[in-house]
Amino acid sequence: MYMERQNGFTLVELLITIVVVSILLATAIPSFMQFIKNNRVTGQANSFVVSTQMARNEAVKRGAGTTLCAANADLDGCSGSNDWSTGWIVFSDLNRDGAINTVTATATSGTTCLETEDCLINTVAGPARSTLTANSSDIRFLPTGQTSNGPITLTLKADDCDHKQERDITITLQGHTNVTEQACTP
């Protein structure tokens, strides 16, 4: 009797394949996790840069001072703290005192802000799984687009920072924003 040989994998071939796949996954997953953390911090930095550009553009457009500040827990006023992790707000600041004096409308609510009062323009919740600190609690833009209290440097750092998941965000006196990737500091 002649037996036909059946096609398939032997146990040894299957074990070798499992070992090779395990080694590949063990080396790829940490790199992928670094990639995800880097992208998260980059996105958070970009979100702050967008708010900075919005505040600067609004100051020029309105011909009045605009302030970007670290927000309080309710995101409806400035905290006065150099810790921006709660979030930040952008508002027109007609008397340039760094505080929202009267707010009856917001630019995002669909109702028009009066030209004679401060107006909340934008609110942004703080970065998830990251901290954001600065050397100032606010950034004040003049109608020219320049800052009245710059240069200001903020440091955005992932909570589990272990490579280059730290960003220095600098707002110059001219109102320009620069983001620099940094190695994690303790």
Specify the higher pLDDT residue, 138 or 99: 138
pLDDT digits (tens, 9 = 90+) for 32-67: 888 888 888 999 999 999 999 999 999 999 898 999
pLDDT score of 87: 95
The arithmetic mean of pLDDT across residues 11-38, rounded, is 87
pLDDT score of 99: 80
The arithmetic mean of pLDDT across residues 87-93, rounded, is 92
Structural domain boundaries in the chain: 13-182
pLDDT digits (tens, 9 = 90+) for 103-148: 554 545 455 666 777 888 899 999 988 999 999 999 999 999 999 9
pLDDT score of 71: 94
DSSP string, the chain: --PPPPP---HHHHHHHHHHHHHHHHHHHHHHHHHHHHHHHHHHHHHHHHHHHHHHHHHHHHTS-EEEEEB-TTSSSB---SB-TTEEEEEE-TT-SSS----S-BTTTTSPPPTTS--EEEEEEPPTTEEEEESSSEEEE-TTS-BSS--EEEEEEETT--SS-EEEEEE-TTS-EEEEEE----
Q: What number of other Cβ atoms are within 10 A of residue 159's Cβ? A: 12
Cβ atoms 120, 106 nearer than 8 A: yes
pLDDT score of 112: 62
Cβ atoms 54, 25 nearer than 8 A: no
CATH code 3.55.40.10 for 13-182: yes
Residues above pLDDT 70, as percent of the chain: 89
Whole-angstrom distance, CA of residue 38 vs CA of residue 145: 31
Which residues does residue 80 pair with via DSSP β-bridges, in sequence order? none
Average pLDDT, the chain: 86
Angle at 40 between CA 36 and CA 46, to 5 degrees: 140
Whole-angstrom distance, CA of residue 12 vs CA of residue 88: 59
